Amino acid sequence: MTRSVGRIFSGFRCFGSLPFGNPPLKTQCSSVLFRTTSERTLMHALPKIFGRKPRDFSLPNSSWGKEMMQLYNHYNRLSKETTEGQEDHGEQWTRLPSYNRTLKYATGGVYLSKIIQSKARLFTRNIRDPGASFEYVIFFRQDKLKCACIFQAGHLLEGAPGHVHGGAIATMIDTITGTHASLLSAPVMTANLNINYRSPIPLGSTVLIESILDKEDGRKRYISCRVTSTDGSKLHTEATGLFLSISVSHLLKR
Ligand SMILES: CCCCCCCCCCCC(=O)SCCNC(=O)CCNC(=O)[C@H](O)C(C)(C)COP(=O)(O)OP(=O)(O)OC[C@H]1O[C@@H](n2cnc3c(N)ncnc32)[C@H](O)[C@@H]1OP(=O)(O)O
């Protein structure tokens, strides 16, 4: 987990309080994996950087249904941190923590008030009622450059009667593919998203969203994504996205 926190915060350092100011680096995932004690210590200190311990929304809560929990437990079992000197066997996934707000201060105490207002919250994590909207957890498989997200769609996401709104599905796809792209090169913005809706998603159901890296070309990351039933037998949605690495100054432009 610690290493994914490192990646996420590295990926989104433009929003955070970790050092930034350099142009976005094209880093290979393997070069930033957290394995040393000092790196783990740094990641454990992150809540202090936030000020107080932030809630990690990617952990189970009482609203999570049986399917969500089963799949979560499946990936979590494959996400056990390896201790140094121990070999990895088979699939190795990493759960990505998820917080509902970004940090207010950039390094050096520069308040990014123009872009990050104190009331700002991550769009998918702003409903307090557990289970009402987006319940999800993302896992990353570093060796395959692959993400898997378990998503349980709550009652506030209705579009067609009894089914999940297409915009909510697009939001989740953008979130997974955008997170995926940011793990590869930080920070990024979505330039293009193409979505084909193949079969409706019943409200309240749990689905699996999987993304893979198709191609890298300079600042561009091409990522594709499939939304299926949790056993993979039913295809709900397919998408492709283009993400562009940006500099921090791009976010400050008005
Ligand atoms: C801790 C919390 C975690 C939280 C984790 C949560 C994750 C959520 C992720 C959500 C991410 C978002 O929704 S971001 C929000 C939605 N997206 C946006 O608002 C982006 C708006 N658009 C822009 O700002 C800009 O257009 C950019 C950054 C996309 C590109 O601008 P730019 O950087 O100036 O690049 P530009 O020179 O135009 O183009 C560079 C190259 O890319 C190509 N290119 C550019 N746009 C496109 C395009 N739409 N389709 C095809 N190709 C394109 C160009 O042809 C060019 O190719 P060549 O000539 O080099 O070959």
pLDDT digits (tens, 9 = 90+) for 199-224: 999 999 999 999 999 999 999 999 99
CATH H-level, domain 2-252: superfamily? Hotdog Thioesterase (3.10.129.10)
Q: Which residue, 6, 13, 11, is CA-closest to 41?
A: 6
Distance 224 CA to ligand 1 centre (A): 16
Query: Which is more confident, 9 or 205?
Result: 205
The ipTM value here is 0.96
For residue 36, pLDDT over 60 is answered with: no
Query: What is the average per-residue pLDDT within 11-23?
Result: 30
Residue type, 76: N
Q: Is the pLDDT of residue 20 over 90?
A: no
pLDDT tens across 42-84, in order? 345 445 555 567 889 999 999 999 999 999 999 999 996 544 5
Asked if 241 and 224 touch (Cβ cutoff 8 Å), the reply is: yes
163-to-49, 143, 155, 227 alpha-carbon distances in Å:
40, 35, 9, 14
Residues sharing a CB contact under 8 Å with residue 168, sequence separation 6 or more, in sequence order: 133, 134, 153, 157, 159
Name residues contacting ligand 1 (CB within 6 A): 8, 12, 102, 122, 174-175, 178-179, 189-192, 220, 242, 244, 246, 250
Q: Which of 122, 126, 134, 244 to mutate to test the pocket of ligand 1 (most atoms within 8 A of CB)?
A: 244
Tens-digit pLDDT profile for residues 157-193: 999 999 999 999 999 999 999 999 999 988 899 999 9
Residue of the CA atom closest to atom 36 of ligand 1: 244
pLDDT at 96: 95
Integer Cα distance of 39 and 228 in angstroms: 36
Q: How far is the CA of 246 from the centre of ligand 1 (A)?
A: 8
Q: Cβ neighbours of residue 141 under 8 Å, at least 6 residues apart?
A: 91, 92, 93, 94, 147, 148
For the residues 13-35, what does the mean pLDDT come to? 30
* pLDDT at residue 39 greater than cutoff 50: no
Lowest mean pLDDT among 29-38, 71-80, 130-139: 29-38
Average pLDDT over residues 117-133: 87
Residues with a catalytic annotation lie at 174
pLDDT tier at 111, thresholds 50, 70, 90: low
Quote the tokens at residue 219: 């600042």
Domain boundaries, the chain: 2-252
pTM: 0.82
Q: Whose CA is nearest to atom 56 of ligand 1?
A: 220
